[in-house]
Chain A
Amino acid sequence: MHMPTPDARIMALKAALAARLRAVLPADAVIDDLAETRAYECDGLSAYKCPPMLAVLPATTAEVSDVLRICHEMNVPVVPRGSGTSLAGGAMPTADSVVLGVARLNAVLETDYADRIIRVQSGRTNLSVTGAVAEDGFFYAPDPSSQLACAIAGNVAMNSGGAHCLKYGVTTNNLLGVTLVLMDGTVVELGGGHLDAGELDLLGVICGSEGQLGVVTEATLRILAKPEGARPVLIGFDSNAVAGACVSDIIKAGVLPVAIEFMDRPCIVACEAFAKAGYPDCEALLIVEVEGSDAEIDHQLGLISAIAQRHDPVEVREARDADEAARIWLGRKSAFGAMGQINDYMCLDGTIPVTELPRVLDRIGALSQEYGLDVANVFHAGDGNMHPLILYDANTPGQLELCEALGAAILKLCVEVGGCLTGEHGVGIEKRDLMAVQFDPADLTAQMAVKDVFDPKWLLNAAKVFPLDASATHRAA
């Protein structure tokens, strides 16, 4: 992974820039000490690190606007940051950049149950949004596994998903408006409490733009009434292909589960060793969760079990109560922890058409043997969002590179069967150089044209998403 050489002329401005920023921000909101800027040197993709020139922690939209205006005037690159949990290197700084962290913007601004919306500042964590409305029987649907830590800012920038998006959609489907600060400091409002765009859907393109078009300081989110209840069924199969066929049949039957999670044998074995959830000894395992009243849940689980029975399952285990439900989820929820116990791992998130599941799992198995690295699969099967976990040893020279090469081969496979490079984690620096696998030059040019309009100087998070050779002329402009 290559990053552009930091601009020495910009780095020479450090003292002058810090002075100007201190004039508009509280003293403790400007961080220029090397030891302290290290706290911002990487995100969840910790294999790559680089401390920024400066970090700032504004507490209001007006302060964000001041910071951006000053950086714009001085031509200083800016990297927006939420909680730094990105798995794609989206929040990784460059040495000539200012990290703009929104962690201090964390208030709830408005809750309206009649209109079913909540307006929050963007630094607020995902889980604490639901926390603010849970007592009144509401929730915010997108639930990335990182929800305890990650911020709405990062969720909007990455268009993050979660386990329940099969029914409720991802961030973009639950986002009604944002306050956005453009790179020159202009503050704009997109959307609001109403449901659709009155002109071009700019909100739609801001969501998922990876911090490259503007800095989000506030967001209006759709909240939903909590369902009466939810329970899963666990189904074991003796082959991936049969489990894949069962997923298709459940979907075709008209049941719309909130989640269909899939684990393959390497993952089942690791989770069982780690969490002792009592999973059956089998090749593939599905956890299917449905919602509603008790009677509705019984009915839907009955339908799903009947479909499963037609596929000769090793075991079908319907949760009768909250306790059994928790046991079924226990292994799945500890999957990442279990992998971490065994080794270092890299988590991919390419998406494939659901119908390609069995074939893709076979091919991943073959690639795993070819590269000599184990791969465990756990993923959101209902929407084809894979999560192959490649196990490697970071302390063995060459293993990271080998792991990245295997990862690239798996992602190319996802694109080849009609899927995409990333279903929820984003491109960042991690998949930047693979973009040409999925897109023609004209496709990338059209996307970069959007950045040209929002950020003509290409100062916001510029060395991400687009292959450096493709973006070179834009960045130089």
Chain B
Amino acid sequence: MNEFLTDAALFLPVLLRGLWTTILLTLCALVVSVMLGLVWATMARARFGPLRAAAATIINVVRGIPIIVQLFCVYFVLPEAGINLYPFAAGVIGLGLAYSVYQAENFRAGFEAVDPALLEAAKSLGMDDRLAMRRVVLPLGIRIALPPFGNTTVMLLKDSSIASTITIAELTRAGQLLAISTFKNGTVYVLIALLYLAASLPLAAGVRMLERRMATR
């Protein structure tokens, strides 16, 4: 136990730096996934058929490819097309894209759960489709989508470990390097696990709090 603690004290600064990268990566990918997800979900509601078809295709294709493969595509294949990305940027784009389809599904379900009578109320006030979307469907749908959104965000935090495969020094990779150089696999991976928990538990609690605040309205 004593040895664990002294090792932990030694490793923690390195791992915390990795955790910081993990959090940064998760937040950036979250922003990308939410923005893209809203685009897909809005397209999926469009009047114009081809737009709906495009949304459905994007969602099915992206959902059908493993995240690690998507990351490799962004990191290794794009440079061949002349687009060179820093690993971190590739990670943000890859994870953001991969998660955008889950976010889109959350939002789509949320939009669909908005009482159609409220949409009619908006229209009867003279709102066109776009204004009604912005003022009524979007804010209410996002509220409904909040619980699944929270789950998705926690999953994204955990899946950000996949970015270790494209040389981003986030928590998992920082730990791997440490384990390789010190042979203290047990200590390192227990610490990594604890650090992921330390990040995801408050995240889940935060989403629940947000949910409760909005539910009182």
- Do chains A and B interact in one complex? no
Residue numbers of B with Cβ under 8 A of A are: none
Binding site for B on A (CB under 8 A): none
